Amino acid sequence: MIYPSNINPDFTDFGETFKFDDYDDDAFQMIMEGINLGDHSPTLSWTSSEKLLATEVASPFQTSLATSPISFEIGDKDEKKKRKRHKDDQVIHVFKTKSVKEIALDDGYKWRKYGKKPIRGNPFPRHYHKCSNPNCIVKKKIERDTSNPEYVLTTYEGRHNHPSPSVVYCDSDDFDLTSLNTLSFQTRTYSYSHSAP
DNA sequence: CGTTTTTGACCTGCGC
DNA sequence: GCGCAGGTCAAAAACG
């Protein structure tokens, strides 16, 4: 039994796949080590324009890719400035998903939307969400990538202090890992449980 | 009827 | 201090 964490238990429609442009070996490698897929190597990376840098690799992989201990910082100077407000130990994750619809990356956690703002230079608004769990302060922001409007950037801040309400299990016997070459996390390839293994 | 979304108002940090 | 931009609040509306 492989336990790859909860990436997208309620896959609906992210275009054809959960796919990334270009290639960044380091970022990709860290994510895949977390997922622990062994020798199988899906194609995953960040766009070169964003130059996402891995800035932290901390504790063991958690219950969700979206809340994995890997955090990224966008290499752009202005962007770093904007992020200065965050505490140094703030864990920030940025995920980029191809999506034809204005929908959030579904990571298995329950979120409550609390705001929407037009962002300067971006024709699409940014959406603000908080984790619905009473004592959890994790937030996520969702916005379209200006340089690539068919992609959606999902930014997570903080770590959940509780397990995901929806945990993914993957049975290696009937699941072809090589099909992850395009990271197509569709529900039919997984079975789910709401309790720990 | 409880939960979530919507949306305008309010707050905060920053540059000038 | 002022104005702008981004982030949050909270009441009302919508939803299931």
Shortest-distance nucleotide from A130 CA to C1':
C8
pLDDT of amino acid A121 = 86
At residue A159, does pLDDT exceed 70? Answer: yes
Distance A116 CA to B6 C1' (A): 9
**Bases in strand C with any atom closer than 7 Å to a protein CB:** 4-10
At residue A1, does pLDDT exceed 70? Answer: no
- The Cα–Cα gap between A169 and A178 comes to 17
Distance A141 CA to B1 C1' (A): 30
At residue A133, does pLDDT exceed 80? Answer: yes
pLDDT of amino acid A100 = 58
The stretches of A53-94 forming alpha helices (DSSP H) are 77-82
Q: Sorting pLDDT into bands at 50, 70 and 90, what band is A31?
A: very low
From the centroid of its chain, how far is CA A172? 23
Determine contact, residues A128/A114, Cβ cutoff 8 Å: yes
Q: Sorting pLDDT into bands at 50, 70 and 90, what band is A58?
A: very low
The secondary element (H helix, E strand) that includes residue A161 is none
pLDDT of amino acid A19 = 29
Report pTM.
0.56
Distance A146 CA to B12 C1' (A): 26
Residues 125-144 of A with CB under 7 A from strand B: 132
Mean pLDDT of all residues in A127-139: 88
**And the tokens for A120?**
């300067």
3-state secondary structure of A171: coil
A117 strand C contact, CB < 7 Å: yes
pLDDT of amino acid A155 = 85
Query: What's the half-sphere exposure (Cβ side, CA atoms, 13 Å) at A117?
Result: 8
A109 strand B contact, CB < 7 Å: no
